[in-house]
Amino acid sequence: MNNCVVIALDAMSGDFGLESTLNGIKYFIKNYNNSNIFFNIFGDESSIKNYLDIDSNIYKIYDTGNNIIGNNEKPAHVIRNSAGTSMHEAIASVANGISDCVVSSGNTGAYMALSKIIIGTIGGISRPALVNVLPCEREKTIMLDLGANTECSVEKLYQFAIMGNAVAKSLFNINKPKIGILNIGTEKEKGTEVLEETYDLLSKTSTLNFYGFVEGNDITKGTVDVIVTDGFSGNVALKTMEGSIKLVISILKKEIESNIVAKLCCS
């Protein structure tokens, strides 16, 4: 496995469990089998072998039986009782140097809590954040946090800016990412005390290209490369975008179907 990126895969978690996860593996093997990726798959070995049914040298199975973390389990309970589950062992493989990174579609709160405890954070970062790349008019907008930290201090928001800046540089080769703070207005005097203090702090940070406050409509405009917010506001914004996209698709579908029916009736 020299020069390979080793991905630990929690095969048992998520809304659709083993089937959707292993379908992803099958697709990868079929289309990208020559890439330098290796998978450590954690889950029930017999079920994985029966479903995967593909001989390949790009994965290894670690048997954790049917021990899983439920989607409704609280992080505090998970921390005390997670040993031996597919998620816990997959995360631990990164801490132990067996894997380079971990992927799981399971309980988000448990995933974040266990990752912080087992793997830890890099120096200067106190809490992890959920980050996503959202479509916009200009191409893409990186946004964090999207749900891991519902309430954030000035220090946490500042750290999110640092993390978002690193993501933009490393993944998308943006030399000087523009960073904005999500707020109810663009004026410096608007928003909460925490947001105003974060604004002042980022304004004085010479290593970051701070733009200022941005509003909700700036997410899809692509006004900045990175948008920083607390997990509560970020999650609401994300779900609103998802709902709006589904609404537009539904309206377009109905219009297309009604026009087709109208043309058939008139022909």
Kindly list the averaged pLDDT for each block of 10 residues, start to end, along the chain of length 267: 84 82 85 82 91 79 88 81 91 95 89 90 87 86 90 94 94 93 91 94 95 93 94 92 89 80 59
21 with 95, same domain?
A: yes
Phi-psi region of 53 (alpha: psi -120 to 50; beta: other; left: phi over 0): left
Does some domain include residue 173?
yes
Question: Could you tell me what percent of the chain has a pLDDT over 90?
Answer: 49
- Examine the domain organization and report whether 233 and 154 are in the same domain: yes
When divided into structural domains, the chain yields a total of 2
Q: Residue 83: which residues within 8 A CB-CB, separation 6 or more?
A: none
Question: Are residues 27 and 114 located together in one domain of the fold?
Answer: yes
Tokens of 92: 């631990």
| Same domain as 212, residue 136 | yes
For the domain that residue 44 is a member of, what is the CATH number? 3.40.718.10
Query: What pLDDT is stored for residue 265 in this prediction?
Result: 61
Q: Is residue 197 part of a domain?
A: yes
Q: CATH number, domain at 224? A: 3.40.50.10750
- Nearest-10 crossing angle of helices 86-95, 108-118: 30
- Do residue 165 and residue 202 come from a single domain? yes
> What pLDDT sits at residue 264?
58
Decide: 24 and 59 in contact? Cβ < 8 Å. Answer: no
Q: What's the pLDDT tens digit per position in 115-132?
A: 999 999 888 888 889 999
Mean pLDDT over the full length of the chain = 88
Residues 93 and 10 grouped into a single domain? yes
Which residue range(s) make up the domain with 143? Answer: 131-238
**Last residue in a domain, options 65, 85, 118:** 118
Tell me if 94 is assigned to some domain: yes
* Together in a domain, 94 and 179: no
